[in-house]
Amino acid sequence: MSTTSNTPASESSNANPSRSCKVSAGPHDVPASSAGKRPAPPCALVIFGVGGDLTKRLLMPALYNLAVDGLLDDGMKIIGVNHGERETSAWRDDLHQSLKKFASDRASTFHTGKLDDKSWDWVAQRLEYMAGEFETDDVFEKLKQKLQQTPGGNVIFISPSALAFSSRLPNGSAKRDC
């Protein structure tokens, strides 16, 4: 686990660039990403089952890294859907604490030592928590209204068991081995 420089290799003036706040799985001396990358177009990312471990360990570190690299559009919105009422601010705080924990844990896959507050704040401003039961129509109606207010396309990520969506799947049933 390492941290890579956010400065393109062509802009780096010294042989030992300072460590960045980017979470990375590459070796410590990997050159910075190539120039010419552009941010993704604006979109809404909807994460079903946002209270789970997958969101904390994989999705949020990945989104954080994209924010560090400036590869997410300012119009992006991240909507987390899960069972149970919760304030968006409490969800943000929980994700921030998890990300800081993973960043400081040397045994963690996502060890970086520290987080860039500006990048985290950018991500946090785009987070919105939505409580809802996946088996009911009302959660999808609320989500539809939120998505109509967001420019660009939609990306849907489903992380709970397929059984949570059994009434939404073809033939109204889910396989237990999905």
Supply the pLDDT for residue 171.
Answer: 53
End-to-end alpha carbon distance in the chain: 31
Is 155 inside a domain boundary?
yes
Is 25 inside a domain boundary?
no
Q: Structural domain of residue 129, as residue ranges?
A: 60-170
Supply the pLDDT for residue 134.
Answer: 80
- Coil, helix or strand for 92? helix
Supply the pLDDT for residue 162.
Answer: 53
Residue 162: closest CA among 83, 58, 49: 49
Q: What is the CATH number of the domain that holds 97?
A: 3.40.50.720
Residues of the chain with pLDDT under 50: 1-20, 22-33, 172-178
* Cα atoms found within 13 Å of the Cα of residue 113, Cβ hemisphere only: 10
